[in-house]
Amino acid sequence: MAAVAVLRISGADSGRILAALAGAVPPPRRASLRRLRDARGETLDRALVLWLPGPGSFTGEDGAELHLHGGRAVLDGVSAALVALGARPAEPGEFSRRAFLNGRIDLTEAEGVADLVAAETAAQRRQALAQMEGGLAARLTGWADRLRLLLAACEARIDFPEEAMPEEAEDAAHAEMRVLGAEMQAALAEGARAERLRDGLVFTVAGAPNVGKSSLVNALAGAEIAIVSAMPGTTRDVLETRLDLGGIPVALIDTAGLRETDDPIEAEGVRRARARAASADLVLAVGCPGIAAPAHPDALVIANKIDLGGTVPAGALGVSARTGQGMAELRAALAEAARRLTAAGNPAPLTRARHRAALAEATARLEAAASTDLAELAAEDLRLALRALGRITGMVGVEDLLDTIFRAFCIGK
């Protein structure tokens, strides 16, 4: 139960419903204290009420906010009164969906709202806020505008073939296509790094039994999460620890000794550990004096138990989970890896697989346009490139996508 519960209503009937509930429609966009009554005149709450007339509201429609006392009975009573007056509960993401359909925000901005609500760490919050505030939309609109100029030039060549276009104009168009294509390629080359920040990274810890993997995970998490035991193979299942590394969420997975075994439960643990480790963003390969770290391409190699003496192999990071020696350096190295893998801080990256797929298509179409001398073909390719970009912002052909996108929102957003 929260101290304050905010009920939002949106739609053409908002004014009528608000007047019936609060006695009258208060002045727009100002908090007013009102007594809310049901149809029989019983007071349900004394609440702050905001009248938010369209088209300047979030959804673009007339709307209102009721800041209620957060009790269950208040919320239930006011909800029932609203329904009796003709309102219905919103579907997940319906406010954002209406804002999109009314042209208040584009699809990437709506996705930014959902990501902001889901953000767990500071870097996720920054990325979501930038997208919600139109960072990605602006980048895409810029590209679309330039494609439209190229298309216009192409169409001029089709419509007026007899007025021979100066050679320079055609060269300039081709140069612009190459520059634009390179910019779009560069955005694609960032790959899934922004998606990784959205979804969180997976790091696994690999190494022979007893090198101190669970001790290391515990030391990193600063809490006793994995069960530490002097007996090999006691970390039975894959254990997952959530870390916040410089604002980036990381699931740290301690693999179960990674050795063959006849115990079916342990064998299942090993199987899962291998599957997760195979798709991990980074592997922490752990060894200790006398036991080499497992060989993994691109692994961060850690030599544990340096308190016992012995030499740290070249390229490895010497630490002691027991004394804490080297742990600050290890944390820093992990945070740096997380930053490198996610490109946190990039102003307007593509945060979803659907963005990348559409941009890849647009880029391929632009390349096709650049490689033909036939104006008709080039124009068609440019049109298809524009359509592909338009699918990202929701300008074209996304009806089938809307349910998938907005269903993932929470109620009230």
| Residues near ligand GDP (CB under 6 A) | 207, 209-215, 228-230, 235, 304-305, 307-308, 320-322
Nearest distance, CB of residue 219 and ligand GDP, angstroms:
8
Nearest distance, CB of residue 268 and ligand GDP, angstroms:
18
Could you tell me how many residues make up the chain?
Answer: 413
Say what the alpha-carbon torsion angle 221, 226, 231, 236 is, to the nearest 10 degrees: -140
Q: Which residue is nearest to ligand GDP (CB)?
A: 212
* For ligand GDP, the closer CB: 108 or 214: 214
- Closest CA relative to residue 331, chosen from 296, 300, 292, 287: 300
Residue with tokens 């604002």: 247
Burial of 234 (0-12, 13-18, 19+ CB in 10 A): middle
| Whether residue 264 has a cis bond before it, omega within 30° of 0 | no
Q: How far is CA 19 from CA 13, 16, 58, 303, 382, in A?
A: 10, 5, 20, 70, 52
* For ligand GDP, the closer CB: 224 or 298: 224
Residue 208 phi/psi, 5-degree rounding, is: -65, 160
* For ligand GDP, the closer CB: 320 or 393: 320
* For ligand GDP, the closer CB: 44 or 208: 208
Q: By the 8 A CB rule, do 362 and 390 touch?
A: no
Q: Which residues contact 300 (CB under 8 A, 6 or more apart)?
A: 282, 283, 284, 285, 317, 333, 334, 337
Sign for the CA dihedral angle at 221, 227, 233, 236 comes to negative
Q: Compute the half-sphere exposure of residue 341: CA atoms within 13 Å on the CB side of its CA.
A: 25
Nearest distance, CB of residue 229 and ligand GDP, angstroms:
5
CA distance 393 to 354: 11
* For ligand GDP, the closer CB: 27 or 309: 309
* For ligand GDP, the closer CB: 21 or 256: 256
Nearest distance, CB of residue 110 and ligand GDP, angstroms:
44
Nearest distance, CB of residue 297 and ligand GDP, angstroms:
21
* For ligand GDP, the closer CB: 239 or 370: 239
Q: Which two tokens stand for residue 165?
A: 């276009």
Nearest distance, CB of residue 328 and ligand GDP, angstroms:
15
* For ligand GDP, the closer CB: 59 or 235: 235
* For ligand GDP, the closer CB: 155 or 237: 237
Nearest distance, CB of residue 286 and ligand GDP, angstroms:
7
Nearest distance, CB of residue 71 and ligand GDP, angstroms:
48
Strands in 43-52's sheet, in edge-to-edge order, are 4-10, 63-69, 43-52, 32-37
Nearest distance, CB of residue 218 and ligand GDP, angstroms:
8
For the chain, give the longest Cα–Cα distance: 86
Q: Which two tokens stand for residue 263?
A: 């115990």
Q: How far is CA 51 from CA 10, 105, 242, 301, 410, in A?
A: 10, 21, 42, 60, 23
Q: Which two tokens stand for residue 218?
A: 């515990």
Nearest distance, CB of residue 227 and ligand GDP, angstroms:
8
* For ligand GDP, the closer CB: 69 or 322: 322
